C-alpha cells in the first residue's frame, strides 16, 4: 500500500484506477485537467514541488490522461496533431519526468499506451504516433531508473468499454471491448510489490479483440 497519484482521474479509466487503489487501502490523489493542465511542464513541476514540500510524495504514479481523434496524417490539421501529442504523450512525459526526479526506491510509474501504438493506426495517425511515443518513454525511463529500483511499465488497451465509446461506436465493434475495471486491475498489479520484478514491460490488455 502507499500513496497513489492518478492523472486523468475524471476519465472512465482514471475513475476505475482510483477505485482499484482505494479498494485495496491506498490513499489516492486524483488529478484531472480542472486541477492541473498536465501538458504544461511548468504547471506539472509546480504541482510536484508543492507536494514535495508537504512531504506527500507518492509511491505509485499512473498516467491515464489521453484522448482520441481519427484521421490520416494527410488529413490531420495542426490542431489535431498538437492536441493528440499534448494530451497523450506530453502529459505522460512531463509527469513521468517530475516523478523520475523524486520517487523513492520501490516506487512505480504506469503509463497508458494503446494497441495502435504497437500496430500503427491507419485512420488515427496522430493518436497512434503519440501512443507509440509513450512506449518509447516507458522503455527509456525504465532503464534510467533501474539503478534506483523505480519501475516503469505501460498497459496497452485496444478498445475500452466506456459510455463515450458506446455513444460513438457500433454495437458490433464493442463486443470485445474491455471494461475499464479490468484495465485498472492490471495497473494496480503493476503498482504493487507482487510486480517488483516487472519493469520496462508493455502489457497488452486487448481482451478478445
Catalytic positions, written as ranges: 127
> What are the phi and psi torsion angles at 118 (to 5°)?
-100, -45
Q: How far apart are CA 123 and CA 45, in angstroms?
A: 34
Distance CA 165, CA 36 (A): 25
For the chain, the C-alpha Rg in angstroms (whole number) is 16
| Residue 177, all three cell numbers | 471491448
Instruction: Give the C-alpha separation, 197 to 2, whole Å.
Output: 18
Residue written as grid cell 529500483 = 149
Give the DSSP letter of residue 113.
-
Amino acid at each position: 500500500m502507499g500513496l497513489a497519484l492518478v492523472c486523468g482521474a475524471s476519465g472512465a479509466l482514471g475513475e476505475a484506477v482510483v477505485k482499484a487503489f482505494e479498494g485495496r487501502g491506498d490513499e489516492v490523489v486524483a488529478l484531472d485537467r480542472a486541477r492541473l493542465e498536465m501538458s504544461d511542464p511548468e504547471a506539472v513541476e509546480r504541482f510536484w514541488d508543492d507536494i514535495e514540500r508537504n512531504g506527500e510524495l507518492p509511491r505509485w504514479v499512473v498516467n491515464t490522461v489521453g484522448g482520441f481523434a481519427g484521421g490520416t496524417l494527410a488529413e490531420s490539421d495542426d490542431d489535431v496533431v498538437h492536441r493528440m501529442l499534448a494530451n497523450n504523450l506530453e502529459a505522460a512525459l512531463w509527469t513521468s519526468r517530475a516523478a523520475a526526479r523524486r520517487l523513492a526506491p520501490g516506487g512505480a510509474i504506469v503509463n497508458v499506451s494503446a494497441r495502435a501504438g504497437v500496430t500503427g493506426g491507419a485512420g488515427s495517425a496522430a493518436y497512434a504516433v503519440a501512443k507509440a511515443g509513450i512506449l518509447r518513454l516507458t522503455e527509456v525511463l525504465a532503464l534510467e531508473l533501474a539503478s534506483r529500483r523505480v519501475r516503469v511499465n505501460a498497459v496497452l488497451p485496444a478498445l475500452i468499454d466506456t459510455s463515450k465509446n458506446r455513444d460513438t461506436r457500433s454495437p458490433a465493434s464493442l463486443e470485445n471491448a474491455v471494461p475499464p475495471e479490468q484495465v485498472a486491475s492490471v495497473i494496480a498489479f503493476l503498482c504493487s510489490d507482487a510486480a517488483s520484478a516487472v519493469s520496462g514491460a508493455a502489457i497488452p490488455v486487448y481482451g478478445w479483440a
